[in-house]
Structure formats: C-alpha cells, structure tokens
Amino acid sequence: MSADLDLARSLFNETWDLIDKKNRTDAETIAMLHKAHASCYLWREAQSPVNNARGEWQVSHVYSLLGEGRLALLHGAYSLALCLDNGIAGFDLAFGYEAVARAYKALEDEALMQEHKLLGLAACKAIEEKEDREYALSNFKDL
C-alpha cells in the first residue's frame, strides 16, 4: 500500500507541475488529465477522505482549466462533499468550495460561482496557519 501512496503523491505533484506549465502541448495536457485521475484513484483506494478530497479537487481543477465545467463540477462537488461529510475543515474545505466556484466559472454561472467563492473565503478564515491561509486566499483572486 505504501508504494501506491508514494505513486499517488508523485502523480499529484507531476500533475501540479503540468498545471503550472505555460504553453503545455496537447500531449502534456492529456498526460496532466491522466495523471490527475490516476493519483485520485490511488488516494481513493487508500480510503483516506482527506487525500481523496484533495485528489478530487485536483481533477476538478484540471477540468476547469480545460473549460470542462460539467466534469469540473462533478469532481469539485464530490471533493466538497468529502470535506463536509467527514468533518474536514480549514484548508481542504476552502479548496472544496474553490473547486465548485471554479467549475461554475467554467459553466458561466456567475451567481453560483460567487456563492461558492464567498463560502470558500469564509472557510479560509478558519485556517490557522497564516502561510496556508494566505495561499488559500490567493487561489480565489481570479474568481
């Protein structure tokens, strides 16, 4: 199981590198999507709600980048539900709301995007670590 978790972590980080990459090729975009899904699946199999929520968040984020609002919302809503259903607060809850807000942005639903953005910003206030709180807040700036 440890090897699976190491692979999940590695794929998550590789996905993040591709998310941040400027001028991704089509092949890199496809790899980004596959890596995000593979990482998410491995976190899910490990039965860790926090890591599963993070994996679903990343898949949602990738779909939002690709303009696939429906799929972004499917995964973002699941990330948020994992947080709410498992009492996961702070950083992960804020990002659950951010994923849903970003999905609604891709779907061009301004009202629901704003609603979830405000909920996410409120969740940021509960993040104790200043650096984590500032990082979370920075992810709402383009919404």
Average pLDDT of the residues in 87-102? 97
pLDDT band at 1 (very low <50, low <70, confident <90, very high): low
Q: How far apart are CA 1 and CA 21, in angstroms?
A: 30
pLDDT on residue 3: 75
Q: Where are the beta strands (DSSP E) in the chain?
A: none
pLDDT on residue 46: 86
Q: How far apart are CA 97 and CA 117, in angstroms?
A: 7
Given a cut of 90, whether residue 141 has pLDDT beyond it is yes
Average pLDDT of the residues in 112-140? 96
pLDDT on residue 27: 98
pLDDT on residue 58: 98
Average pLDDT of the residues in 125-132? 94
Across the chain, mean pLDDT equals: 96
Given a cut of 90, whether residue 47 has pLDDT beyond it is no
Where are the domains positioned within the chain?
2-138
Rg (CA), the chain: 14
pLDDT tens digits, 3-37: 788 999 999 999 999 999 999 999 999 999 999 99
Average pLDDT of the residues in 79-100? 97
CATH code, 2-138: 1.25.40.10
**Where does residue 47 rank: exposed (0-12), middle (13-18), buried (19+ CB within 10 A)?**
exposed
Q: pTM of the entire structure?
A: 0.94
Average pLDDT of the residues in 106-129? 97
Average pLDDT of the residues in 32-61? 95
